[in-house]
Structure 1
């Protein structure tokens, strides 16, 4: 009987993580698509943002999980240069899409709960019209940022050991052009900083609004036998949980990626980095399910808010 190695154990672990994340995101994605097809006249604009986030999660899991699982189960050098470029490029783009979409979702929810007497209330009827232009911008900007990956990455067996590895073990590359490398890193840092700033600002605003709302209805809750949170409150709390989860895993994964990229013989850290890269996409749908954010009564309303 063949002895189970540590690589086999890791492969089974990552296969389980991949399966859970893929099934969770795909199921909710299909649920949304079905609802949009059969009840298009009652759709809420925020559903499109959730669909886009789920799509980005599915792409991230596929383009990171499948090659890593194949690698862990012993199939080495299974991709040529073109395959390596395509997989790593789409993986990076999908992670960027997830970041941008999560940022936009938090901002969108913050605008939804703006009081009608606020000076920013004029944004509420207009922000829905920005959804699809925002999606187009997210795709274009992330595809442009990561063009550098296509130029420099090759399959690992086509590069000497002196090259610096990227985050996926089957792909390696070096970037000798310091100017282009600086522009590449600058684009990523600027995007990350802007998106995370928006998430922090929107999250802070939502926390303040939740606290204000709680104080306002405190008497009603005390006198009610069955106090029930509004759909907007539930959605806001869920998005706050998603933001905190995303912020933690994204920055932890980014720090590990930078460290691993400039160090050698850090296989243990590489495996941790692979795990972290798929944590948020795997957890995201279950945070949504647990808080009932996908109840169709919360998706749709005649007001189309």
Structure 2
């Protein structure tokens, strides 16, 4: 199953990336600022698949201990960073679309013409924040055959993580909880705003048209529906995977749940291009 997830996710995201890049380079009249956010998100998805999915596929074919300490540190660090980038970018995508559909009389209307200028600074800050948060992963990750003296905090088939320092571990997790809570709150808040806007807009359109007519949704409404679907899928898979991962950390030798967490962690990158297309 993991092989099909990785294959579908990698091919789908790559094709979607090619289409969006073609839009930017060739079909200049159809490109939109929001496409840059999609491109960044697709690149992050591809990196997530490469740094997490490929090692799982290699392991599924029976290859054991194929990463040394340096390999484990690089793979785990980049996987964690890209997963954090997915969360931050999805939050920014939701905020961006909410600003796009904001009417001119809204109290947030002043942000509408400026939101595009915040795009690259936002991407840069996402990278810096997540790279700093997960530096600890580099120091606390080893190949599974290289150490046995401390119980793993998390254990994958190709790497283990250990954290004997309780205080530093609590600070590290506190930063992650703060980042996650803020991003999810912004996603839920902006999604609720967009749902309310669409509902109000739909009622207004129905009053302006005869009941027998079925007006076609605007491009903004279609884009908003797509982003709401993406946000809903992301929040579901992200929190399902997070809760299971925390549970598995405190329970040893639950092979079935470990496999489920692996599957959940690759579900969103795999279905993202399907939802967007």
Report the TM range for the smaller structure's normalisation. Answer: over 0.9
**1:114 is aligned to 2:102:** yes
User: Which residue number in structure 1 is paired with residue 240 of structure 2?
Assistant: 252
User: Which residue number in structure 2 is paired with residue 140 of structure 1?
Assistant: 128
SS in 1 for 2:164: coil
Q: Quick one: distance in 2 between partners of 1:100 and 1:40?
A: 28
User: Which residue number in structure 1 is paired with residue 61 of structure 2?
Assistant: 73
**1:126 is aligned to 2:108:** no
TM-score by length of 1: 0.87
Query: How many angstroms does 1:173 deviate by?
Result: 2.2
User: Which residue number in structure 1 is paired with residue 226 of structure 2?
Assistant: 238
**1:151 is aligned to 2:151:** no
Name which of structure 1's ranges 193-202 and 178-187 shifts more when overlaid on structure 2.
Answer: 178-187
> How many residues are paired up?
277
Q: Which runs of 5+ in 2 are unaligned?
A: none
User: Which residue number in structure 2 is paired with residue 44 of structure 1?
Assistant: 32
TM-score by length of 2: 0.96
Equivalent in 264, 267, 271 of residue 279 of structure 1: 267
The alignment yields a C-alpha RMSD, in angstroms, of: 1.5
User: Which residue number in structure 1 is paired with residue 84 of structure 2?
Assistant: 96
User: Which residue number in structure 1 is paired with residue 21 of structure 2?
Assistant: 33
Q: Quick one: distance in 2 between partners of 1:41 and 1:119?
A: 31
Change (3 A) 1:203 1:167: farther
Q: Quick one: distance in 1 between partners of 2:8 and 2:227?
A: 21
Change (3 A) 1:22 1:154: same
Query: How many angstroms does 1:224 deviate by?
Result: 6.1
Query: How many angstroms does 1:50 deviate by?
Result: 0.7
Query: How many angstroms does 1:34 deviate by?
Result: 1.6
Q: Quick one: distance in 2 between partners of 1:228 and 1:167?
A: 51
Q: Quick one: distance in 2 between partners of 1:193 and 1:212?
A: 28
User: Which residue number in structure 2 is paired with residue 82 of structure 1?
Assistant: 70
Query: How many angstroms does 1:226 deviate by?
Result: 5.0
Q: Quick one: distance in 1 between partners of 2:221 and 2:29?
A: 24
**1:168 is aligned to 2:151:** no
Equivalent in 144, 153, 170 of residue 182 of structure 1: 170
Equivalent in 54, 64, 86 of residue 42 of structure 2: 54
SS in 1 for 2:154: coil
SS in 1 for 2:160: strand
Q: Quick one: distance in 1 between partners of 2:30 and 2:223?
A: 18
User: Which residue number in structure 1 is paired with residue 254 of structure 2?
Assistant: 266
Q: Which runs of 4+ in 1 moved over 6 A?
A: none
SS in 2 for 1:51: helix
Q: Quick one: distance in 2 between partners of 1:269 and 1:86?
A: 25
Q: Quick one: distance in 1 between partners of 2:214 and 2:114?
A: 35
**1:200 is aligned to 2:193:** no
Change (3 A) 1:25 1:222: farther
